[in-house]
Structure 1
Amino acid sequence: MKSIVYAAMICTTVTVIQGLNLSQLNADEKPKVNRTRFYIASPEGKDPKEYYVSEDYYNTGSPTFSPDGSKLAHDCWKSQEGETFSNVKIMVANADGSDPKIIGAGAMPSFSPGGNRIVFSQPSPSGVAIMNADGSNRTLIESGAWGAQWSPDGKKIAYRAYTSGKANLRIYDLIEDTKFDVFPAGESPYSSISWNMTWSPDSQWVCFLGRNAADKMYEVVTVNVAGMKEGYKVHYRSKVSPYQDMAWHPQGDMIVFGSDTKPRQLLKFNPAEDKAPEPLDIKVDGNINGDVSFTPDGQHLLFNARDKE
């Protein structure tokens, strides 16, 4: 597979980015195409640089780094050839963007702490599953579930499930091989919970976007995975849905997500404070999508943007 890579060699201790242009566009390709590109910036959005572009896949999202910083995984499909999300695949590359490989069908990859396994969602049959990082040994966790994310301590996987007609945050305890819901039966306030939720660095909390069943408002919330009564906080409410991807900084004091405005901005907030989210001042030559991920060392924020028409 041919790829266009503008990258920075990432290690867990790297603090300096040097852009690499490993190959050029084909001479016969149009200079402007409506594709997505990954950019990298400081955690505050400063000094953004184009980082990685997949030539073969115009739609790329849900980026995530392996915990050791050596790999980058994301989902993708060939919209330029008429593919839709039903054709979504997972790609894994080296963190500098080199050697990209499709490892199989699926979306929203999330690495285990050891980096040797990936939990993901699959459109058909719908559900969440685990596979080896090379795409082998695929095992379904739960049919009909969605948006699975592995906890940093490796002991749990969080995902959306439906119970009693409501969306719930389900926690799969890998040590005990048990599953439990964060909201008590029948008490979830949400009609839907979106994909690409994010764990706190201490594996005690999850941040997600949900739609309140009572007033139809969209809410960005954090909740303690031991149960709603152990901690639950609404940080942002809107009549229009923000973007569904959340990223929690490794230090624990910042969460980033995409706004509900057009053009979209990236917003940040400290989950320990009672302050409204504030915009990151990011300027790139494209329209920000909202897929976000921090590098494991916390030095950089990865996000995507789509080329302007």
Structure 2
Amino acid sequence: MKDANNGRYEYTNDIATDQHGTFEVSVDRGIKWISVSHADFVDRAFELPADSAFVEDIRIVLCKQFRISGVVTDFRGDPIENATVCAIADSDYGMSSEVRTNPSGAFDFGDYDRIPVTLVVTAESYSPNTIRIQTPDQGTDASVRLLPGRKLLLRVVDATDRPVSSARVRSLSWNQTSGETIDDGIKLESETDQDGICQFSGVPSGEVTLEVFHSNYQTATGSFRASPKPHQIKLVDRSDADAIDFDPDDFKHRIFHLFKPDGSVIRPLLKNVELSHQYGRQGTASISSDGTKIAFDAHRLGVGEDWSDSRVIVANIDGSDAKVVSDGVIPALSPDGSHVAFSRASQFGVPEGASGQSIWLMKVDGTEKQMIDDHYAWGVRWTSDGRTLVYRSGTDNEGNSAASNVLRTYDLATGEKRNAWEPDDSPFSSLRFRFNVSRRGRLAVVAGEPKDTRRPAIAVVDLDKGISSMRFLKMDHPAVSIPLGGVMDFTPDNRWILMAAKKNRVVQPIRISIQGAAIVAGFPHLPSDFAIRDPLMTPDGQHLIAVISPLSK
């Protein structure tokens, strides 16, 4: 894909490998990415160095999908139902995938494409166990036996040694007796009682690192071993230098923060604190494919504004140089960060010639606005090649109103509008407006109510192949409630859909596999005493960005 003007990419010619798996192509300084695909393997893409005119001797390893399945039993050999099996791949940004065992103790990750991988198996009142999978053949019978659990008591106190109740405690890592550290997988979670005590009954051998949260105190961590006597950890009051910017008395207050890929909070995103606090209800972000800029919508709290009064804020990806550039919501940055497509409420669009809600395009500084479509067109996104805008509703080329159960595409070169699939062929009665488009290829993820079941569903579709390519995601998971209508995004590798869901009564980001298996994966080090919404990953996969707000009372 070669850089081009107006935020677009152009595809170069496809090149096939020979019988030795080698290829040769001359590239210039405009080439940004090389993508490798084969019907029998998982696609790979990588970025070329920006300062190199050519790169020699690149070795690319393609991985076939394989199956990971097995049975979890207790020390007597009886099956354990509802055990959690967590897969932690060495090359997956430190994130994990998890499934639960059925009444027969069996689990199945379906198609998997990362190796080597460590499975961490946990169940209530049992000690965790691990198994290491080095080759695909080892994944077909990854059975595990669990021993009775060890107990650990923890007492949480404040600086004056008074007990702290309602503190949330969870495990961060497991330092095994073998010397290996597992940074995710064991799912120890509890809450302190009125005496500041919490108890875990499934502690492993070795040392466990626990993290303690409470909205009135700074987060604290400590490493402990199983013991009949309580360990103690002390909390101190929050300071102004804390990494999380929030208003404990206003759950409507939502501020974007920067996270590590494992969910650890780094800092509030914007460096302009005054602007961030002025527009305290933030959401629905977009990052340019080149990773240089971020745009999101926001409105002010406490002055009578609502979502329709939102403004578009654009900043550098490091949070610097943040500016309000226009009214609007759901902004979408062009791949090179030079332009923004966005939706406008009627109160702003109609005075400038729109009929109802509308889609507009502008330069990243807010100049040169032009309307793309109106008649309640909404929720625009930009394809990764920069050629097409995608949105819902609006009008067709003859000016007739478009159906709400399809996605519409607008060709930026020709101005032609078309349906990605036809309304009569659509399995949905209507689509939610918060869909998204992948940063590689031309995939879209949509949510809505299917005509046959009327039960909310999420599907992934190739915009060029249409309805024949649509596949529905499996969302059944006993510990996760997935509300539809929220922000959805593709992870950089196109393997997962990233969204916020309610897990253990707290809204937090999760990932759902798009490869056919009912796999839900989280971010192990997310703070559990805040609601975290509107997540997206940076294009290099090295950071998570999401809004943090207090838990609603």
TM-score norm. by structure 1 comes to 0.81
Q: 1:180 and 1:31 mapped to 2: Cα distance? A: 47
- Counterpart in 2 of 1:247? 489
Determine the C-alpha separation between the residues in 2 that align with 1:116 and 1:250.
21
* Range with greater deviation from structure 2 (184-193 or 75-84): 184-193
- Name which of structure 1's ranges 121-130 and 62-71 shifts more when overlaid on structure 2: 62-71
Q: 2:498 aligns with which of 244, 252, 256?
A: 256
Matching of residue 217 in structure 1 with residue 455 in structure 2? yes
Is the partner of 1:102 in helix, strand or coil? strand
Residue in structure 1 matching 2:254, options 36, 39, 42: 36
Aligned partners of 1:65, 1:115: CA distance in 2, in Å?
8
Corresponding position of 2:540: 297
Residue 248 of structure 2 contacts residue 550 of structure 2 at CA under 8 Å; is this kept in 1?
Answer: no
SS of the residue aligned with 1:258?
strand
Distance change (3 Å), C-alpha of 1:166 and 1:173: same
Deviations 1:119-166 (A, max 9, x none): 111111311111110111111111011110001110111111166754
Q: Distance in 2 between matches of 1:208 and 1:304?
A: 22
1:240: Cα distance to partner?
7.1
Tell me which residue corresponds to 2:326. 104
d(CA) in 1 for partners of 2:475, 2:430:
14
1:201-258 deviations in Å (ceiling 9; x for gaps): 3332101222224433211110111243440111045897335211112222222111
Corresponding residue for 2:264?
A: 47
Counterpart position of 1:7: none
User: 1:112, CA displacement in angstroms?
Assistant: 0.9
Say if 1:59 and 1:90 are closer, same or farther in 2 by CA, change over 3 A.
same
Distance 1:240 1:257 in 2: 9
CA distance in structure 2 between the aligned counterparts of 1:165 and 1:215, rounded to whole angstroms: 20
CA distance in 2, matches of 1:203, 1:156: 12
Partner residue of 2:527?
283
The 8 Å contact of residues 37 and 50 in structure 1, kept in 2 or not, is answered as no
The one-letter amino acid of 1:256's match is L
Decide which moves more: 194-203 or 137-146. Answer: 194-203
| Counterparts of 1:202 and 1:168, CA distance in 2 | 21
1:231 counterpart = 2:469: yes
Q: How does 1:188-199 map to 2 (within 5 A)?
A: 188-199=426-437
Inter-partner Cα distance in structure 1 for 2:263 and 2:475: 26
Secondary structure, counterpart of 1:55 in structure 2:
helix
> How many residues were matched structurally?
285
Offset of residue 65 of structure 1: 2.2
- 2:448 and 2:484 in contact (8 A); partners too: no
Compare relative contact order (CA 8 Å, sep 6+) and give the higher one, 1 or 2: 1
Stretches of structure 2 lacking an aligned partner (at least 5 in a row) = 1-48, 50-92, 94-239, 271-275, 350-356, 395-400
- Separation (CA, whole Å) in 1 of partners of 2:326 and 2:530: 29
Q: Secondary structure at the match of 1:121?
A: strand
Say if 1:190 and 1:59 are closer, same or farther in 2 by CA, change over 3 A.
same
Aligned residue in 1 for 2:294? 72
Residue identity matched to 1:103: V
Q: Which residue of 2 aligns with 1:156?
A: 388
Q: Tell whether the 8 Å contact from 1:38 to 1:50 is kept in structure 2 after alignment.
A: no
Q: SS of the counterpart of 1:264?
A: strand
Matched with 2:358 is: 127
Q: Structure 2: how far apart are the matches of 1:33 and 1:241?
A: 22
Q: Aligned in 2, Cα 1:166/1:116: closer, same or farther, shift over 3 Å? A: closer
Residues 242 and 260 in structure 1, CA contact (< 8 A), matched pair in contact too: no
Which residue of the other structure, out of 173, 183, 187, is the alignment partner of 2:421?
183
Structure-2 separation of matches of 1:216 and 1:260: 21
- The residue that corresponds to 1:20 in the other structure is none
Measure the CA separation in 1 of the matches of 2:402 and 2:287: 35
Q: Which stretch shifts more, 115-124 or 259-268?
A: 259-268
Name the CA distance, whole Å, in 2 between partners of 1:169 and 1:214. 19
State the one-letter code of the partner of 1:46.
G
The question of whether the paired residues in 1 share the 8 Å contact of 2:287 and 2:295 is answered with yes
- CA–CA separation in structure 2 for the residues paired with 1:30 and 1:291: 18
Report if the CA contact (8 A) 2:259-2:267 is conserved: no
CA separation in 2, counterparts of 1:254 and 1:40? 20
For 1:260 and 1:234, locate their aligned partners in 2 and report how far apart those are by CA, in whole Å. Answer: 20
Residues 77 and 89, structure 1, Cα contact 8 Å, conserved in 2:
yes
Name the CA distance, whole Å, in 2 between partners of 1:166 and 1:139.
23
Three-state SS of the structure 1 residue aligned to 2:406 is strand
Q: 1:165 to 1:157 in 2, by over 3 A?
A: closer
2:274 is equivalent to residue 274 of structure 1: no
Identical positions, percent: 25
Return the index of the structure with the highest Cα Rg. Answer: 2
Q: Does structure 1 residue 145 correspond to structure 2 residue 411? A: no
The Cα shift of 1:56 comes to 0.2
Structure 1 residues 55 and 151: alpha-carbon distance in aligned structure 2, compared to 1, 3 A threshold = same
Cα distance change on mapping 1:177 and 1:193 into 2, 3 Å = same
- Once the two structures are superposed, residues 66-115 of structure 1 have per-residue CA deviations (whole angstroms, 9 ceiling, x without a partner) of 33333221100012211011101101122222332111110111111221
TM-score (norm 2): 0.47
Q: Distance in 1 between matches of 2:269 and 2:431?
A: 29
Distance change in 2, residues 1:275/1:193 (3 Å): same
For the residues of structure 2 that align with 1:230 and 1:285, how far apart are their CA atoms?
43
Check conservation: 1:166, 1:186, Cα contact below 8 A.
no
Give the whole-Å Cα distance in 2 for the aligned partners of 1:277 and 1:107: 29
Structure 2 vs 1, CA of residues 166 and 70 (structure 1 numbering), >3 Å: closer, same or farther? closer
